Chain A
């Protein structure tokens, strides 16, 4: 596969961010606000709770992981939406660009933007609230990988949804992380949930990350098999999301949706 078209998609985002503080600021502003808010809540709970629970990890750490996942997903979405807003699809897809290259470019952009968000979060959470992720050691790798892969999968799938339903469906994308958060047990064990919600949670890879994190904090062994399952599940979702995007793209080419893509919703 030629790499220059992938670089072109990512470079476009770099040009946009470099010249636009309004694009740069949200990458760090919201996560910084989350870190400060949850950092102080964790500090307060640590000071008033008799039980020896480390809220810095179980709350602030969980928020950081969840924000990272959200940034990855939105990294894909925002890069895609830039093309929607600029009505750039005809220029892009009348070129030799392949769908796999386009998605590769979106993923490359998401890697860069989510890393910036992650570094911003760590820069606040570590010195101010004593959240030391280094303590997790090598476990950080599967944790981050699961969240990253699932973020990409959801970003690609929801971008496909916007391609299919039209630009007006953009608002459907933003609440999706909030919609999923009760099911994946960001702040509580899955066993807290009713059985049908647990079943949904088990189908969502991030739930294994938060369960593993809590197991580690409670001094139990990390469930290596569960984490491997989560990585496999997230990888499977990426394949399914890419297949869905490709199918929607083909429909858009067949039906004329791509050629007439505009600010209005499509049926």
Chain B
């Protein structure tokens, strides 16, 4: 078994003269939760899209479980899954129908039993025949997360997964995701703007700004190492730094 769930090497994405992501390299180990942090437009979603194979990098490579996504897209993506606020499941299908459709797409063995497990695990049983579009945003997030773990992925990408959840539900979700990482050995790449959540959940964080990784380390130790009181303070400073530099330059 490969030691890395994800290995991104010198990943770049350019749109004409715009450099959305610039030569970033990072990895996610099995059982590790890595936070991808950065201000809006920093390149987080672009990076996740490249890892998911829906955006082709201008250069660099992505390996999931040691499989190069550019060469063996389907085999690589069979080991992964994702949940993102901007990629809601079809609202005109019921919860159970969505799980069945995506279970077939991911070729999940013992699908009916797996769906049953997830309905219980994510407290969705009473909603199984409700159309996803009629659910509250918190319930939709739970369905998206149930879909994201349907195929027991070795790499899970979560783009602001708790953004619509109330504090209690978000806490339960974080506990569940931490347990999943430690019990199943799944590597998780997590983006969030909630610094408390990142500190509580992630083993390691990557600060991205203007398409580059500026900092990397333990979210609990990083603030002190860089003279900040909290992760949020460090985030704000890093997020404004390039802006201040460019303002000064102009």
Q: Could you tell me which A residues sit within 8 Å of B by CB distance?
A: 2, 4-5, 7-8, 11-12, 15-16, 19-20, 82, 86-98, 250, 253-254, 256, 258-259
Given A12-B90, A12-B93, also A95-B102 (CB < 8 A): yes
Interface contacts beyond A86-B91, A86-B92: sample of 15 additional A-B pairs, CB < 8 Å, sorted by A: A4-B105, A8-B105, A11-B101, A12-B90, A12-B101, A15-B97, A87-B87, A90-B52, A94-B82, A95-B77, A95-B105, A96-B78, A96-B106, A258-B54, A258-B55
Contacts of A254 in B (CB 8 A): 56
A126 to B53 CA separation, bound complex (whole angstroms): 51
Q: How many A-B contacts at CB < 8 Å in the complex? A: 86
Contacts of A7 in B (CB 8 A): 104
Contact B54 A93 (CB under 8 A): yes
Residue B89, interface by CB 8 Å: yes
Q: How far is the CB of A15 from chain B (nearest CB, A)?
A: 5
Contact A8 B104 (CB under 8 A): yes
Contacts of A16 in B (CB 8 A): 92-93
Q: Could you write out 27 A-B pairs with CB less than 8 Å apart?
A: A5-B107, A7-B104, A8-B101, A11-B101, A15-B93, A15-B94, A15-B101, A19-B92, A20-B92, A86-B90, A89-B54, A90-B52, A90-B54, A90-B84, A90-B87, A91-B90, A92-B105, A94-B87, A95-B77, A96-B73, A97-B74, A253-B53, A253-B54, A253-B56, A254-B56, A256-B13, A259-B49
Residue B169, interface by CB 8 Å: no
Contacts of B104 in A (CB 8 A): 4-5, 7-8, 11
Contacts of A20 in B (CB 8 A): 92
Residue B134, interface by CB 8 Å: no
Q: How far is the CB of A260 from chain B (nearest CB, A)?
A: 9
Q: How far is the CB of B219 from chain A (nearest CB, A)?
A: 27
- Chain B contacts with A in 55-102, Cβ cutoff 8 A: 55-56, 73-75, 77-78, 81-82, 84, 86-94, 97, 100-102
A16 to B132 CA separation, bound complex (whole angstroms): 13
Q: How many residues of B contact A (CB 8 A)?
A: 34
Contacts of B106 in A (CB 8 A): 95-96
- Chain B contacts with A in 102-155, Cβ cutoff 8 A: 102, 104-107
